[in-house]
């Protein structure tokens, strides 16, 4: 029987790096660090929803914590010569009692981020846009930027149907079982006025070929 596996965690150590980089000496310390990471990500993503955050990397030591934010709209975070970042550092210092250092990096091609594309689709669905039109627009945008392929899955009571169903939209090549392919994945929910729709996005950026062939140059988030 086929088993569904997260394509990002399946490639950790091969094509992907870990989003959290720290070492815990005991199980209790590991649990504390794990809960801290979840709270830090929820705090940043909730406070800056409109900044287009694609990825957050957390690096910890016993006294300091470095947070690297990859965002498409850097000017939202760097407003007024970085006052938002300074305020965020102070708030995190009070919450966890550690010294926080926040760095911001720009995502030059937001179409290659599955998280940004999934948030765009969910926002359009919440604004009552036709799901087929939204999905086809996203497929066209991503393929025009040079991606190998994209797959979108939207599930729920589509078009006010009595029975929930799932529709998939695919363009290009999305090889989920090829470890050499760099695939970004994100799943989230669209909270509409009457019900909830599930949105999943897979984006294959490029594939690592043999030495004779040169891989397609893209920006790796």
- The kind and range of the H/E element at 149 are strand 149-156
One domain for residues 77 and 143 = no
| 182 domain residue, yes or no | yes
Domain assignment present for residue 91? The answer is yes
* pTM (predicted TM-score): 0.87
Residue ending a domain, choose from 106, 130, 146: 106
- Give tens-digit pLDDT for 196-214: 999 999 999 988 775 554 5
Based on the domain organization, do 132 and 70 belong to the same domain?
no
**Which residue do the tokens 């790096």 mark?**
17
Same domain, 89 and 143: no
> 111: closest CA among 142, 135, 149?
142
pLDDT tops 90 at residue 1? no
Specify the CATH number for the domain of residue 135: 3.30.1140.32
| Assigned domain for 218 exists | no
Count how many domains the chain has: 2
* Res. 5 pLDDT band, cuts 50 70 90: confident
H or E segment at 46? Answer: helix 27-47
Q: Note the pLDDT of residue 216.
A: 54
Please tell me whether residues 84 and 116 are part of one structural domain: no
Contacts within 8 Å (CB) and 24+ apart, 80-88: 84/48, 88/44, 88/47
- DSSP secondary structure string, 71-139? ES-HHHHTHHHHHHHHHHHHHHHHHHSSEEEEEEEE-S-GGG-HHHHHHHHHHHHHTT--HHHHHHHHH
pLDDT tens sequence across 153-187: 999 999 888 999 999 999 999 988 888 899 999 99
* Domain coverage including residue 70: 9-106
Dump pLDDT digits (tens) for 6-53: 899 899 988 889 999 999 999 999 999 999 999 999 999 998 888 899
Q: Note whether 36 and 102 are same-domain residues.
A: yes
Residues in the chain: 221
On the question of pLDDT at 88 being above 70, the answer is yes
One domain, residues 171 and 95: no
């Amino acid at each position: 029987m086929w088993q569904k596996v997260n394509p990002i965690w399946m490639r950790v150590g091969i094509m992907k790096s870990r989003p959290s980089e720290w070492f815990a000496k005991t199980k209790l310390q590991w649990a504390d660090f794990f809960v801290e990471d979840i709270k830090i990500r929820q705090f940043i993503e909730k406070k800056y929803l409109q900044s287009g955050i694609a990825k957050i990397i957390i690096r910890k030591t016993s006294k300091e914590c470095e947070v690297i934010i990859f965002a498409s709209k850097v000017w939202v975070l760097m407003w007024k010569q970085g006052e938002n970042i300074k305020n965020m550092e102070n708030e995190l210092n009070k919450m966890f009692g550690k010294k926080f250092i926040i760095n911001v990096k720009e995502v030059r091609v937001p179409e290659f981020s599955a998280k940004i594309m999934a948030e765009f689709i969910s926002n359009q669905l919440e604004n009552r846009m036709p799901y087929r039109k939204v999905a086809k627009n996203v497929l066209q945008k991503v393929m025009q930027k040079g991606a190998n392929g994209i797959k979108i899955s939207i599930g729920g009571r589509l078009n006010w149907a009595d029975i929930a169903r799932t529709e998939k939209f695919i363009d290009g090549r999305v090889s989920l079982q090829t470890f050499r392919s760099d695939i970004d994945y994100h799943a989230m929910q669209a909270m509409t006025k009457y019900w909830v729709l599930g949105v999943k996005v897979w984006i294959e950026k490029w594939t690592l070929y043999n030495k004779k062939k040169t891989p397609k140059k893209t920006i790796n988030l």
